[in-house]
Amino acid sequence: MRTSTLGVGILGAGPVTQAIHLPTLARLRDVFHVAKIMDVDPAIAESVAGRVGTAWTTSMDDLLADKAVQVIVICSPHQFHAEQVIAACRAGKQAVLCEKPFAMSQAEAEEIAAVSRETRVPIIVGAMHTFDPGWLAAKEHWGDLVRTAHTIRYSIVLPPNPRFEDFATEVITRPERARQDRHDPEVAAGMVRAGIMGLAIHDLPLVRAFCPDFTDLEVLSCHVPDPFGYLVNLRIGDRSVQVSGISTESWQPEWTFEALSDVASLRIDFTPSYVQAGSATAAITRGGEATVYGPYPHNGYEGEWRYLADLASGKAAPLDVTELIHDLTFALDVADKASAAVRASAASEAAASQATAPQKEAIA
Ligand SMILES: NC(=O)c1ccc[n+]([C@@H]2O[C@H](COP(=O)([O-])OP(=O)(O)OC[C@H]3O[C@@H](n4cnc5c(N)ncnc54)[C@H](O)[C@@H]3O)[C@@H](O)[C@H]2O)c1
């Protein structure tokens, strides 16, 4: 029975494997089965594999050598993605899904593209909104809005990930994250970079659909809200782009993407990460009349896995890896410029407060 479905090998069995990919794969049993799970922590590998009754290992080479594994999903921390994508391609697997970001530098991205072209192993990146049927419907129906939109903004307001992970499953061991002092310029710059490369990166490919040429990208301002997030104002050509992400327990979760022109607008409401309750809805308004697309039965997580199956079986054409490189270059450009802006403003705030400190003491 199992041999008729594609064997999935999982590298990294942390919260995203447990709370996103295993529940998605459980709904796609007619297409996939989990063939092997690898994690550097043997307790996690064994325990997660036990939940789905499959084999486990702590060795990537062992998993990649396993003939029962045909497709790979990479869910390890960011810094391992590039080397693992390359190893999966070199092992001759049928297709690779790498969680975002698929690389942390332009050089890594280009190496991945070269290996993917050489080995002909198709790669997709887990930017799930690009596979969401709500987004795909918007693309099909937005007409000239993609050229005429002058303002693009997307806003992510989410409680910290563990809230959703715990709704989805009982997560096995979770690393403690220390609270950071965002008044330190280096810490603030690092937080913005982590926010852009970890969270904003989900929808930067959507922004790039409207701004394919981002050579003159300029960060006008960047602010770090408490307790974690980023508020970035950008200009790309004559377009204004606002990108914000806030992690807070106290607000209603919201994930929206908007594109506005003088005569039309698009608004997409995505479900929060981890939530598997159908697709986003997209509303396109022209002349005061809105047409709403969705929600459709499945979301972007299932969309990416369905596409991976079609790639592995040769039914779908592979994505152009050059586009994946451009998406990464765009994200790195936003992250570099936003973190430089926040570093500069935090340093000037620190200098200003030092300059006023002696005066305050003198008055006291
Ligand atoms: N698509 C989404 O909605 C979404 C949401 C959150 C996170 N993510 C991405 O998923 C990835 C994993 O996130 P997470 O929250 O599960 O991360 P995590 O860091 O909490 O867990 C990663 C797991 O990988 C293991 N690991 C460490 N080094 C490894 C290695 N070299 N090889 C294999 N495994 C290794 C760790 O032991 C841990 O179990 C990240 O890249 C993150 O950006 C995606």
pLDDT at 289: 96
101 lines ligand 1 (CB under 6 A): no
For residues 184 and 146, what is the distance between their CA atoms, to the nearest angstrom?
A: 39
Task: Please say whether the beta carbons of 4 and 37 come within 8 A.
Answer: no
pLDDT at 362: 53
27 lines ligand 1 (CB under 6 A): no
Mean pLDDT of 71-81: 97
227 lines ligand 1 (CB under 6 A): no
303 lines ligand 1 (CB under 6 A): no
Confidence check: pLDDT of 227 > 60: yes
Between 159 and 188, whose confidence is greater? 188
- Give the least confident one: 66-80, 237-251, 295-309: 237-251
Residue minimizing CA distance to atom 1 of ligand 1: 126
88 Cα: distance to centroid of ligand 1 (angstroms): 17
Burial 62-95 (b: 16+ CB within 10 A, else e): ebbebeebbbbbbbbeeebbbbbbbbbbebebbb
Confidence check: pLDDT of 360 > 80: no
Confidence of residue 353 (pLDDT cuts 50, 70, 90): confident
pLDDT at 364: 46
80 lines ligand 1 (CB under 6 A): yes
Confidence check: pLDDT of 186 > 70: yes
Mutating to test ligand 1, I would choose from 38, 64, 99, 274 the residue with most ligand atoms within 8 A of its C-beta, which is 99
For residues 256 and 246, what is the distance between their CA atoms, to the nearest angstrom?
A: 13
Between 133 and 3, whose confidence is greater? 133
195 lines ligand 1 (CB under 6 A): no
Confidence check: pLDDT of 175 > 70: no
150 Cα: distance to centroid of ligand 1 (angstroms): 36
- Walk me through the domains of the chain, giving residue ranges and CATH numbers: 2-125 (3.40.50.720), 130-349 (3.30.360.10)
Residue minimizing CA distance to atom 9 of ligand 1: 99
For residues 162 and 85, what is the distance between their CA atoms, to the nearest angstrom?
A: 27
Confidence check: pLDDT of 39 > 70: yes
Record the pTM: 0.91
Mean pLDDT of 207-235: 93
Sequence-ordered list of residues with C-beta below 8 angstroms from that of 32, at least 6 positions apart, any chain:
5, 6, 7, 8, 25, 71, 305, 309
pLDDT at 177: 67
Mean pLDDT of 336-341: 96
Confidence check: pLDDT of 99 > 80: yes
> What is the chain's mean pLDDT, rounded?
91
Residue minimizing CA distance to atom 25 of ligand 1: 12
pLDDT at 48: 96
Mean pLDDT of 301-327: 93
14 lines ligand 1 (CB under 6 A): yes
Mean pLDDT of 263-276: 93
